[in-house]
């Protein structure tokens, strides 16, 4: 079916557009134009813009998970070293677009979570998965005595991901990596070492 074969274009090109202009800012006509498809064909693939939003979040999260697997689970180094390398990689990803886009998960959290129940619930699931992946590495570091043990790994993971999303917001405003650098150089070690260091 021709209709079905266009769906990957809607997802890839639509994700790109939403990442650049925001979810509400990207209208159906603009999404279809980005995918070089007739406007009416959008509804052959998605029942609503909300469903499209969940689909591009899923697509984006595939890349998040691939990076988590590569840099946290399969990489060399201690858990603390892998966490540092992971966030340094994410920081460097933003350089090519002048830190303007941030993270689609954070952007949708700010913009779409208050107005769409379906997107909000999908975001909650993805944030929990992301936090869980960070927590597994943190727990390994706690087991090895590299990371503080007075705070549960799940709480440290939540704080790291939240602080990272906040640093990305500021980087978008400043079009500069200062907040991402401060996260890597000060917040990450302060949070992982705690009082025992």
**Rg of the chain's alpha carbons, rounded to an integer?**
18
182 belongs to the binding site for a copy of itself (CB under 8 A): yes
- Quote the tokens at residue 83: 């966490």
162 belongs to the binding site for a copy of itself (CB under 8 A): yes
Got the DSSP string for 142-178? HHTTSS-SSS-HHHHHHHHHHHHHHHHHHHHHHTSSH
84 belongs to the binding site for a copy of itself (CB under 8 A): no
**Closest separation in Å from C-beta 73 to a copy of itself:** 23
Question: Coil, helix or strand for 36?
Answer: coil
**Closest separation in Å from C-beta 171 to a copy of itself:** 9
113 belongs to the binding site for a copy of itself (CB under 8 A): yes
190, exposed or middle or buried, with CB in 10 Å at 0-12, 13-18, 19+? exposed
100, 129, 178 from 13: Cα distances, Å: 18, 25, 30
Binding test (CB under 8 A) with a copy of itself, winner from 80, 102, 141, 177: 102
Please choose, out of 8-16, 49-57, 99-107, 138-146, the segment that lies near a copy of itself by the rule CB under 8 A: 99-107
Cα–Cα distance between 31 and 138 in angstroms, integer? Answer: 39
Cα–Cα distance between 136 and 138 in angstroms, integer? Answer: 5
Binding test (CB under 8 A) with a copy of itself, winner from 16, 120, 136, 146: 120
59 belongs to the binding site for a copy of itself (CB under 8 A): no
Interface ranges with a copy of itself (CB under 8 A): 20-25, 100-102, 106-107, 109-115, 120, 123-124, 127, 151, 155-156, 158-159, 161-167, 169-170, 172-175, 178-179, 182-183, 186-187, 190-191, 193-195, 197
């Amino acid at each position: 079916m021709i209709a079905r074969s266009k769906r990957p274009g809607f997802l890839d090109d639509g994700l790109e557009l939403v990442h650049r202009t925001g979810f509400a800012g990207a209208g159906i006509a603009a999404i279809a134009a980005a995918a070089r498809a007739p406007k009416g064909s959008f509804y052959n693939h998605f029942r609503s813009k909300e469903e499209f939003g969940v689909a591009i979040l899923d697509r984006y999260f595939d890349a998040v998970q691939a990076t988590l697997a590569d840099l946290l689970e399969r990489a060399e180094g201690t858990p603390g070293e892998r966490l540092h390398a992971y966030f340094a990689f994410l920081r460097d990803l933003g350089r090519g677009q002048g830190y303007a886009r941030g993270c689609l998960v954070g952007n949708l959290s700010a913009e779409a979570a208050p107005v769409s129940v379906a997107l909000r619930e999908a975001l909650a699931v993805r944030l929990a998965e992301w936090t869980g992946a960070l927590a597994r590495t943190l727990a390994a570091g706690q087991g090895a005595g590299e990371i503080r043990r007075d705070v549960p790994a799940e709480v440290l993971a939540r704080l790291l991901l939240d602080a990272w999303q906040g640093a990305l917001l500021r980087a978008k405003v400043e079009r500069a990596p200062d907040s991402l650098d401060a996260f890597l150089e000060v917040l990450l070690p302060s949070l992982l070492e705690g009082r025992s260091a």
